[in-house]
C-alpha cells in the first residue's frame, strides 16, 4: 500500500514556517536569476544596446536595488500579514541583492575602468555618485560575509547590530542612483525607490520604539 501524502504542519508553527519557505525557495531562486538570464539572452542575441557596458552596469545596479528593497520589505510584510515564513526568505533575497551589486561593481571596475586604479581613485574622490555607490557596496560586504548560521551563532547579539548596516546601505544606494540619474534629469525611478524605502523604514519605527529600553525612574522622578 502506498502511504498517503504527508500533511502540511499546523499553520503558525515553526514547522509550518520552514515547510512553506522550503517550497518557495526554488521560486525565489528562479525569480532572482531571471534578470541575469534576460541579460545573458540579450548578450547572446546582440541586443545590449549601442552602449553595452553602460546598459549592463545600469541593469545590474537596478536589480541590486530592487532586491535590497525586497529584503527590507520582509519584516513589514510579516508584521502586516502574519506570514512568519517570510523571514526564512530574507537572507536569500539579501544575498541576491549583494550578488547583483557585486556584478554592478565588477563591471564598472573591470570593464568600464579596466582596473585603472588612478582613474578609479579619482572617480571615488571627485564624483559623488560613485562615492555613494562604493559606500553602499562596502556596507553590504560584511552583511553578506556574516549571513551564515555559523556567523549568527558566533556573533550572538552583535550579529543583529552589525546587520543594521543595511539601514545605511540602502540610503547610500538610493543616493548613488539619484545622483546618477539627476545628470540626465531622469528622476522617476529614483523617486519611486526612495518613496518605497521611506515607507518600509517608517513601518519599522513602531517596532524600534517598542524595543527601546525604558530608563529606570529615580526617586526624584517618582516625586515626594
> 18-43: per-residue pLDDT in tens?
667 778 899 999 999 999 999 999 99
Residues in contact with 97: Cβ distance below 8 Å, sequence separation at least 6, in sequence order: 64, 65, 67, 68, 70, 71, 140
Q: Do the domain assignments include residue 139?
A: yes
- Between CA 117 and CA 1 the distance in angstroms is 69
Q: Is 67 exposed, middle or buried (0-12, 13-18, 19+ CB in 10 A)?
A: buried
- Between CA 36 and CA 112 the distance in angstroms is 19
How high does pLDDT run on average in the chain?
86
Residues in contact with 88: Cβ distance below 8 Å, sequence separation at least 6, in sequence order: 17, 18, 20, 21, 22, 25
Q: Do the domain assignments include residue 219?
A: no
Q: Do the domain assignments include residue 75?
A: yes
Q: Do the domain assignments include residue 196?
A: yes
The residue range of the domain holding 195 is 15-211
- Between CA 187 and CA 146 the distance in angstroms is 34
Q: Which is higher by pLDDT, 224 or 109?
A: 109
Q: Do the domain assignments include residue 154?
A: yes
Scanning the chain, the segments in alpha helix (DSSP H) are 14-44, 52-81, 87-106, 117-126, 128-145, 149-155, 157-162, 166-182, 188-211, 219-222
Q: What is the predicted pLDDT for the residue at 185?
A: 81
Q: Do the domain assignments include residue 223?
A: no
Q: Do the domain assignments include residue 20?
A: yes
Say how many C-beta atoms besides its own lie within 10 A of residue 78's C-beta: 15
The number of folded domains in the chain is 1
The pLDDT tens digits of the residues spanning 179-223 come to 999 877 888 999 999 999 999 999 887 766 666 554 444 433 333
Q: How far is CA 187 from the centre of its chain?
A: 21
- Between CA 34 and CA 30 the distance in angstroms is 6
Q: Do the domain assignments include residue 224?
A: no
Enter the pTM of the model.
Answer: 0.85
Amino acid at each position: 500500500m502506498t502511504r498517503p501524502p504527508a500533511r502540511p504542519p499546523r499553520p503558525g508553527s515553526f514547522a509550518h514556517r520552514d515547510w512553506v519557505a522550503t517550497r518557495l525557495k526554488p521560486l525565489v531562486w528562479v525569480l532572482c536569476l531571471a534578470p541575469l538570464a534576460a541579460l545573458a539572452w540579450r548578450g547572446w542575441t546582440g541586443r545590449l544596446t549601442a552602449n553595452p557596458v553602460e546598459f549592463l552596469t545600469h541593469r545590474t545596479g537596478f536589480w541590486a536595488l530592487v532586491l535590497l528593497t525586497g529584503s527590507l520589505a520582509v519584516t513589514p510584510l510579516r508584521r502586516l500579514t502574519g506570514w512568519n515564513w517570510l523571514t526564512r526568505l530574507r537572507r536569500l533575497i539579501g544575498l541576491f541583492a549583494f550578488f547583483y551589486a557585486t556584478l554592478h561593481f565588477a563591471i564598472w571596475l573591470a570593464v568600464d575602468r579596466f582596473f585603472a586604479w588612478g582613474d578609479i581613485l579619482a572617480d571615488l574622490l571627485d564624483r559623488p555618485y560613485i562615492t555613494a555607490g562604493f559606500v553602499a557596496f562596502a556596507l553590504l560586504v560584511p552583511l553578506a560575509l556574516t549571513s551564515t548560521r555559523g556567523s549568527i551563532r558566533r556573533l550572538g547579539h552583535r550579529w543583529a547590530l552589525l546587520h543594521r548596516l543595511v539601514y545605511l546601505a540602502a540610503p547610500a544606494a538610493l543616493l548613488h542612483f539619484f545622483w546618477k540619474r539627476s545628470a540626465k534629469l531622469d528622476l522617476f525611478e529614483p523617486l519611486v525607490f526612495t518613496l518605497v524605502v521611506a515607507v518600509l523604514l517608517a513601518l519599522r519605527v513602531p517596532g524600534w520604539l517598542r524595543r527601546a529600553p525604558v530608563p529606570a525612574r529615580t526617586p526624584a522622578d517618582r516625586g515626594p
